[in-house]
Structure 1
Amino acid sequence: MSSGSADSRHIDATDILAQLEGLSAAEEFFAVLGVPYDPKVLNVSRLHIMKRMGQYLAEEDFSDLPDQVIAARACATLERAYEDFATSSPLTHRVFKVLKDHDPDKPATPGRTFVPFDSVLKLFGKE
């Protein structure tokens, strides 16, 4: 596992939510929260991990909690989201709408039949 500065478990919890709001790269979240990660996993699933972390954070109520508690919960949500994708593929979890809509295990929505483009071209004699 790699993590650069994330190997240190010391988290500057001062106004942690504002810190997190100012971040943009997934690696920054791991570094600020002190969560170790495998760059290979992050390279494949970064958007999925961050989306899942957001879903987990949305379930939390941080009202009137001290920064240390908020930081600990944010760290736990990132660890949980990372583990979701470290042990299985993004296709398994389908956190994005486009993946949910095209789930091969889910029956097609009535009135929304998928027609492959190459079959349309065959109708016009083009291939």
Structure 2
Amino acid sequence: MSSDFANSRPIEVTDFLARLKGLSAAEEFFAVLGVSYDPKVLNVSRLHIMRRMGQYLAEVDFSDLSDRVIAARVRIMLERAYEDFATSSPLTHRVFKVLRDHDPDKPATPGRTFVPFDSVLTLFGQE
């Protein structure tokens, strides 16, 4: 993994949840949490990583925890979410509904047929 910051950097934990809410780019989350990453992995899977991290966060009750404990747990969840996609493709995990709905290993839902766009173009003589 690589990034522009040192992996051993301490996390600033003052008003930690408020700081997280103010972040928008995936790179900001990695920087604030001190998690190293490969830019190639992040460029391909950034939305999937952040969605998975959100899924992990939704499973935890942060009430009555100190900012230091929250920061440590959030960091672990980001590392875990990143590793999910650093070792396999977004299609493997299917964190978004559109990918789950169009899983080729599952039979189509009756009344909801998927027609690939390239097959439509073939009907009109365009490819």
What TM-score, normalized to structure 2? Answer: 0.90
1:103 is matched with 103
1:42 is matched with 42
2:89 is matched with 89
1:7 is matched with 7
Question: Per-residue CA shift, 1:1-55, capped at 9, x if unaligned?
Answer: 2222252330001111111110011011000001111111101100000000001
1:60 is matched with 60
1:119, distance to aligned residue in structure 2 (A): 4.8
Change (3 A) 1:85 1:44: same
1:114, distance to aligned residue in structure 2 (A): 2.5
2:70 is matched with 70
Question: Per-residue CA shift, 1:55-105, capped at 9, x if unaligned?
Answer: 100111000100000000000000000000000000000001111111000
Structure 1, unmatched stretches of 5+, are: none
Change (3 A) 1:86 1:116: closer
- Say whether 1:112 aligns with 2:108: no
Structure 2, unmatched stretches of 5+, are: none
The Cα RMSD (Å) is 1.6
- Number of corresponding residues: 124
Contact 1:49–1:85 (Cα < 8 Å) also in 2: yes
Change (3 A) 1:47 1:115: closer
2:79 is matched with 79
Q: Distance in 2 between matches of 1:28 and 1:120?
A: 41
1:112, distance to aligned residue in structure 2 (A): 1.2
Q: Percent identity?
A: 79
